[in-house]
Amino acid sequence: MIAKIKNHTIDLSKPLDISIPLRGDASNVNAWYVGHPRIEPHTEGDFVGKVTEGAATNFNDIWFNPHAHGTHTECVGHITEEFHSVNKNIKQFFFMAEVVTIAPEKHQGDFVISKKQLKYALGTKKRDAVAIRTLPNTKEKLSRQYSNTNPPYLLEEAALFLADLGVEHLLVDLPSVDKEKDGGELVAHKAFWNFDGKLRLKATITEFIFVPNSVKDGTYYLNLQVAPFENDASPSRPVLYGLIEKV
């Protein structure tokens, strides 16, 4: 199927899913010091919700934390006293996106993504969304246990640069845009959402994506699929579509 949107031809028959699926065991990607997600048959008395156990249907309970257990999209409600729902704040789901690959650089003992790196990768391009793939980029990201590993993060200047550039939707293949243990400062989150000014209510941050090496850097059309949870964050499925040609 071919679609023509915003003066571009888009091949809808070749979706590039950059989400990490949720698995109910310890092999699932994990962060923030919580146990692994669970997907288990519901039990009640003698009832076990599993066909192999005699039930008519498979009837599973699922326990997970959206921030810790896989691809999720969050809104400013993640860091505000006032409740904001990602389900209410996202009104559109298709965006022009740029995929960039960054090798985090050493900074004060950590590995970080800097403004200089993003400025070099993006130049003056104006995009609704930016998806950052970090190096090294291995399939280990699909099951990595991030707690107490101090993974790479964005410097405040980098998040501010993206906000100033007009980027509404930031996607990263990391558990957070901020340092794992920062004393609650959350400087990158706050910079991107303009926490100390007029809040960027429509802006979102999606963490724990995985962009395969087969996906080249460049411009794509992004479908940001978000489960309708009334929460600051929700499981999500960002899908990229290649641009065939301008029309």
Per-domain residue ranges of the chain: 2-21+66-246
Residue 111 has a pLDDT of: 98
pLDDT in the model for residue 5: 64
Quote helix, strand, coil % in the chain, to nearest 5.
15, 35, 50
* pLDDT score recorded for residue 6: 62
Task: Please give the biggest Cα pair distance in the chain.
Answer: 63
Q: Superfamily assignment of 2-21+66-246 in CATH?
A: Putative cyclase (3.50.30.50)
Which regions of the chain are under pLDDT 50?
247
Confidence (pLDDT) at 4: 58
Cβ burial of 11 (10 Å; 0-12, 13-18, 19+) is: middle
Angle ∠(71,230,18) on CA atoms, nearest 5: 15
pLDDT of residue 8: 76
Confidence (pTM): 0.95
Q: Please count the residues of the chain.
A: 247
Q: What is the per-residue pLDDT for 244?
A: 80
Left, alpha or beta for 170 (phi > 0: left; psi -120 to 50: alpha)? beta
| Cα 127 from Cα 240, distance rounded (Å) | 14
Could you identify the residue written with the tokens 């999606």? 206
